[in-house]
Amino acid sequence: MLELIKSRRSIRKYTAEPVTDEQVQAMLEAAMAAPSANNAQPWEFVVVRDAGLRQQLAATHSWSYMAADAPVVFVVLGDARRSDHWVEDTSAATQNLLLAATALGLGGVWVGIYPRAEREAHVRKALGIPEGKRVLCIVPVGHPAEQKPPRTQYDPAKVHRDRYGNR
Ligand SMILES: Cc1cc2nc3c(=O)[nH]c(=O)nc-3n(C[C@H](O)[C@H](O)[C@H](O)COP(=O)(O)O)c2cc1C
């Protein structure tokens, strides 16, 4: 598990090999295994395979182009009426989803939507997402066509012992 965490990297290039329904299911199950405040599970996911819709998602902003090439794109939604911790909860789910993709030999990338209103409006319109549901991010996933080495970004300057400033 510790090696897997370090192996998860942002993968932005994909081969043409499809992602199976079983793999999608496994990633969704991992996402919904995440912790959430009061176990509210305020998440929903739109699984986008349609090429036209992926093109629209790719046009959301300048760093969302990967959605056009990935065989599947997960759109992570949060219900702000159900929980005021929806951002943390759906972020935990997103990280689980990315780790599951890595475990399956797939690669993905967190494409930020929240908190930019214009990005959220674009995704909302493209997919018909109702007003009460917020859009945290979109996650294109596919078979990696780029290799990135595992790594930590451990930085001792970011660690304090007992009291702030103690090394
Ligand atoms: C909240 C958030 C928003 C991000 N938004 C984007 C994005 O819009 N497009 C993108 O290509 N990568 C995005 N990333 C991925 C980061 O660029 C990436 O995680 C970072 O450069 C570290 O690289 P690594 O994921 O390979 O460790 C986002 C990551 C987070 C956590």
Residue 71, domain member (yes or no): yes
Residue of the CA atom closest to atom 30 of ligand 1: 110
Q: Note the pLDDT tens digit of each residue in 1-23.
A: 999 999 999 999 999 999 999 99
- On whether the pTM is more than 0.85, the answer is yes
Query: What is the SS3 assignment for 22?
Result: helix
Residue 87, domain member (yes or no): yes
β-strands 107-108, 72-79 pairing: unpaired
The DSSP code sequence of 80-100 is TTT-TTHHHHHHHHHHHHHHH
User: Could you tell me the distance, in angstroms and rounded to a whole number, from the CA of residue 15 to the centre of ligand 1?
Assistant: 20
Residue 88, domain member (yes or no): yes
Residue 159, domain member (yes or no): no
Q: Are 28 and 77 in contact (CB under 8 A)?
A: no
Q: Note the pLDDT tens digit of each residue in 50-77.
A: 999 999 999 999 999 999 999 999 999 9
Residue 69, domain member (yes or no): yes
Say which amino acid occupies 26. A
Rounded CA-CA distance 95/4 in Å is 12
Residue 166, domain member (yes or no): no
Residue 118's domain spans which residues?
A: 2-148
User: Could you tell me the distance, in angstroms and rounded to a whole number, from the CA of residue 11 to the centre of ligand 1?
Assistant: 10
User: Could you tell me the distance, in angstroms and rounded to a whole number, from the CA of residue 10 to the centre of ligand 1?
Assistant: 7
Instruction: Judge if the upstream peptide bond of residue 115 is cis by omega within 30 degrees of 0.
Output: yes
Total tally of structural domains belonging to the chain: 1
Which CATH number characterizes residue 100's domain? 3.40.109.10
Q: Note the pLDDT tens digit of each residue in 74-90.
A: 999 999 999 999 999 99
Q: Note the pLDDT tens digit of each residue in 94-134.
A: 999 999 999 999 999 999 999 999 999 999 999 999 999 99
Tokens representing residue 111 in the block: 């494409």
